[in-house]
Amino acid sequence: MLSFKRPTEADVIRYLLDRQESPFTYGQLGVTQTHEFPDRFDVDRQQTQLGTGEATYEIAKDAVRRWAMFPNELTELYWPDRPLRIGVEVAVLFRAGPLWSLNPCRIVYTIDDAQPSDRVHRFGFAYGTLAGHLECGEEQFCVSWNHDDDSVHYELLAVSRPNHLLTRIGYPYARFVQARFRRLSAQAMARFVRDACPVNCG
């Protein structure tokens, strides 16, 4: 959805209700999990270390639950209190010059690998694009705790291609905005952990 006027919350609700039964705009659901990337899709990763230790990992998990990876400088999420469950829908609002862009997504799968025998614990989810999104594809947001070196990381994996005339024509700019989102997302996660972490966090 593109508009010269900022959408109201009622507009967002109507927009998502209209898409409750709509299919995803790409065919390979779970592509960020299988890593079987389709042709002509861009594959982008952003990884940053948030600290070390279990306390840091638990705070990072809370950040994901709160959708804290969406940077206020670039996006507004409707709504950050949505639960991390398969089928839950959200909309991400961007502003690009005079235009407001409302982009609907639906959670495809969740991640919660925390078996005692696992050397790496992971927590997160992926969502996929719905009709009206300027891009087509899937993004995974995940935090991990590696027991071998006690490190805690945040990783964003995005598989996408343009899904609108404007993002096709303005492909270089769209790629610039995507890269900026990934960078700011990592900074937002690091800031959340830093602000919430007690003195004994790694």
Q: What is the pLDDT of residues 69-107, one digit of tens each?
A: 999 988 999 999 999 999 999 999 988 778 888 999 999
pTM score, two decimals? 0.91
**Per-residue pLDDT at 130:** 94
In angstroms, the Cα distances linking 120 to 33, 186, 193 are 16, 20, 19
**Per-residue pLDDT at 107:** 97
**Per-residue pLDDT at 3:** 78
> What proportion of the chain, given as a percentage, has pLDDT over 90?
61
Q: Where are the beta strands (DSSP E) in 28-178?
A: 42-52, 75-78, 89-96, 99-113, 120-129, 135-146, 151-162
Q: CA gyration radius for the chain?
A: 17
In angstroms, the Cα distances linking 127 to 4, 91, 117 are 26, 11, 28
| Average pLDDT of the segment spanning 48-60 | 94
Q: With cut-offs at 50, 70 and 90, classify the pLDDT of residue 169.
A: confident
| Average pLDDT of the segment spanning 19-24 | 87
**Per-residue pLDDT at 98:** 80
DSSP3 helix / strand / coil % (the chain, rounded to 5): 30, 40, 35
Query: Highest-confidence range of 50-64, 115-129, 154-168, by mean pLDDT?
Result: 50-64
| Average pLDDT of the segment spanning 4-26 | 86
Q: Is the confidence at residue 123, as pLDDT, over 70?
A: yes
Q: Is the confidence at residue 136, as pLDDT, over 80?
A: yes
Question: Would you state the structure tokens that stand for residue 185, as one six-digit string?
Answer: 């997302």
**Domain ranges, ordered by start, for the chain:** 2-196
Q: How far apart are CA 174 and CA 161, in angstroms?
A: 10
Q: Is the confidence at residue 200, as pLDDT, over 90?
A: no
**Per-residue pLDDT at 20:** 82
User: Which residues neighbour 10 within 8 Å (Cβ) at sequence distance 6 or greater?
Assistant: none
Q: Is the confidence at residue 1, as pLDDT, over 90?
A: no
Q: Is the confidence at residue 41, as pLDDT, over 90?
A: yes
In angstroms, the Cα distances linking 147 to 52, 54, 99, 115, 178 are 10, 9, 45, 12, 31
Are 141 and 69 contacting, i.e. CB atoms less than 8 angstroms apart? yes
3: part of which helix (H) or strand (E)? strand 2-3
Which phi and psi angles does 40 have, rounded to 5°?
A: 65, 20
**Per-residue pLDDT at 117:** 65
Cis peptide before 79 (omega within 30 of 0): yes
Q: b or e along 67-101 (b: 16 or more beta carbons within 10 Å of the residue's beta carbon)?
A: bbbbbeebbbbbeeeeebeeeebbbbbeebeeebb
Question: Would you state the structure tokens that stand for residue 36, as one six-digit string?
Answer: 């079987």
**Per-residue pLDDT at 90:** 95
**Assigned superfamily of 2-196:** START domain (3.30.530.20)
| Average pLDDT of the segment spanning 127-152 | 94
